Structure 1
């Protein structure tokens, strides 16, 4: 079971009880508890050198978090039984794609560990969900975790969309190839013969985007925005 789905489930429970999303430290407690770590282990996690909270801080945070979960699930939740409780209660829809949902990750990198940036994730969720922003760009220098951040975001909001497609533009594919790929996916492979002109292809893509809720993620989009020739 993917711990990211558990984080999504816990976030929902905490929000229902408190009106607030998970904090970065609460997410770290979830990760640590899921992996059977002690609070001392969590405070010394080598994969998170930026996290240098004292073990007592993690313990206090865990106590508060598990108290909220105990109230929400009406079952005693603590660090030692956290994983077993979550495996029993986590809804099936979080563990597998919805029956009528179409998801194509298109070679997105496997993500086993991600913690932090909850404030940024919540901001992006609000932009896409409540504010209904049609275009959102995650900008920043290379290597700071934009791809990982977007993967977590997609997992958190996936139930809001019927079609989700992920593509990397790192190799700067021709725009006609990108359009063809998107149109075929959004049409359930029904539309394989595309219009001849670029404008007509864009119109077809917009047609499908207007028909149903679609989430299109273009990773490494800065590649096609750089100077130079591009087909």
Structure 2
């Protein structure tokens, strides 16, 4: 949501609550807050006392808190408004689906020229009661949602793919620390009521395909036993549950399915059966959705680009200036002159920004002093995170990374070939793999490394 949309939405909320539109001071408070200005700055622009601005803001936050159903303050206004907007989107979608079903029923009655049988209303109530009981969730492995920064566009995209386009298999990829899991948690919290079954699984190195499938089947079958008591109930194949029920299944850390030291997306021998599972999810007709989260994705998923297929891929990028600025404010760095430069250098990556902000805060130095010009600091905890990803690279990828890191400008494929050490076919495969790992950026036929990765690669040579 942009500034105008935020103001319009807030105005509607205030009007529905009080019967009055935002007054000039309330609008000034909202604008100042969304522009990350202090109350003192707002008071100066509005030509009034700071205490008057604080009182107006306090009343406004209280009013918005009552309507949005959560505590709203200066620090979380944007994210609270965006959560509210996305919840309206989900409710409107559900309402549209109900209207479509009602319309279908009306058309059916019209063709038969018979009104609905009122005597069935009691049975309908039983059916509705049963449906309410079939909302089952196992989110015990899902992490808690901490501070959530502006991801409205990505949330909207994923919600549309899942609820409107009924995508069966979605991969959410991005470099470590970019916020994939946080985005997925926010998504699940907002759309989980649209599914009969919701489960979150963290994939670790010991998670075999048979164990995973057995875990899902047990979850479905045990839940069904709670809703009915059939005798000698047998476990069905996994695909049958996905066909019979609307399910959302989230798999986090899917990179653990793939080999280290190989090009991206190659399954470990013990994880090979996941390939068949994902192909089955893609090809067979069902009403469920798998969301895969990780640094890498299955090769067969990456290759699918046709928008007519039930597969989608979203590569998550860094936060914008406004959202990343919220992180710097949390560390007392909001007022620095070169904050935008700092955000660009660390690509709006939440984890990277938190790491360098912690270092600056602990050293007690100024950003200009510690980060002159285009200097990149690599705190030890950030090095550890990057090392985990670089350890997964093949020797071929490491060669290409080394070549690209030495260049100050984007380098094209022709120049990379001039070194005569990497055959064309190997070079193309390595570039594709690095791109799939989100470690290299492509501009036409040229490639470059993000500043942080370049600094780390040079230091590791």
TM-score, normalised to structure 2, is: 0.31
The corresponding residue for 1:222 is 255
What are the superposed Cα offsets for residues 44-101 of structure 1, whole Å, 9 maximum, x if unpaired? xxxxxxxxxxxxx6xx77543320223455656833422133339x99xx9xxx6531
Q: Distance in 2 between matches of 1:62 and 1:129?
A: 24
In structure 2, relative to structure 1, the CA distance for the partners of 1:75 and 1:102 (3 Å cut) is farther
Q: Secondary structure at the residue paired with 1:186?
A: helix
Q: Does 1:177 align with 2:177?
A: no
In structure 2, relative to structure 1, the CA distance for the partners of 1:190 and 1:63 (3 Å cut) is closer
Q: Distance in 1 between matches of 2:223 and 2:62?
A: 47
Q: Secondary structure at the residue paired with 2:178?
A: coil
Identify the structure with the greater helix proportion.
2
Structure 1 stretches lacking a partner, 5+ long: 1-22, 26-56, 192-200
In structure 2, relative to structure 1, the CA distance for the partners of 1:116 and 1:211 (3 Å cut) is same
Greater relative contact order (Cα < 8 A, sep 6+): 1
In structure 2, relative to structure 1, the CA distance for the partners of 1:190 and 1:117 (3 Å cut) is closer
Cα RMSD (Å) = 3.1
Q: Distance in 2 between matches of 1:169 and 1:73?
A: 46
* Contact 2:14 2:63 (8 Å CA) reproduced: no
Larger radius of gyration: 2
After TM superposition, the structure 1 = structure 2 runs for residues 51-130 of structure 1, keeping only pairs within 5 Å, are: 63-72=7-16, 78-87=60-69, 99-130=133-164
Give the C-alpha shift of residue 230 in structure 1.
1.8
Give the C-alpha shift of residue 139 in structure 1.
1.2
In structure 2, relative to structure 1, the CA distance for the partners of 1:170 and 1:142 (3 Å cut) is farther
* Contact 1:172 1:223 (8 Å CA) reproduced: no
Q: Distance in 1 between matches of 2:19 and 2:192?
A: 28
Corresponding residue to 2:180 among 135, 146, 149: 146
Give the C-alpha shift of residue 215 in structure 1.
0.4
Q: Distance in 2 between matches of 1:81 and 1:72?
A: 11
In structure 2, relative to structure 1, the CA distance for the partners of 1:99 and 1:68 (3 Å cut) is farther
Corresponding residue to 1:213 among 226, 242, 246: 246
After TM superposition, the structure 1 = structure 2 runs for residues 180-191 of structure 1, keeping only pairs within 5 Å, are: 180-188=214-222
* Contact 1:62 1:79 (8 Å CA) reproduced: no
What are the superposed Cα offsets for residues 2-38 of structure 1, whole Å, 9 maximum, x if unpaired? xxxxxxxxxxxxxxxxxxxxx2x6xxxxxxxxxxxxx
* Contact 2:196 2:245 (8 Å CA) reproduced: yes
In structure 2, relative to structure 1, the CA distance for the partners of 1:128 and 1:62 (3 Å cut) is closer
Counting matched residue pairs gives 159
Q: Distance in 2 between matches of 1:159 and 1:130?
A: 15
* Contact 1:184 1:190 (8 Å CA) reproduced: no
In structure 2, relative to structure 1, the CA distance for the partners of 1:115 and 1:167 (3 Å cut) is same
Q: Distance in 2 between matches of 1:225 and 1:115?
A: 30
Q: Does 1:164 align with 2:204?
A: no
Q: Secondary structure at the residue paired with 1:187?
A: helix
In structure 2, relative to structure 1, the CA distance for the partners of 1:124 and 1:176 (3 Å cut) is same
* Contact 1:140 1:146 (8 Å CA) reproduced: yes
* Contact 2:14 2:64 (8 Å CA) reproduced: no
Q: Distance in 2 between matches of 1:85 and 1:189?
A: 35
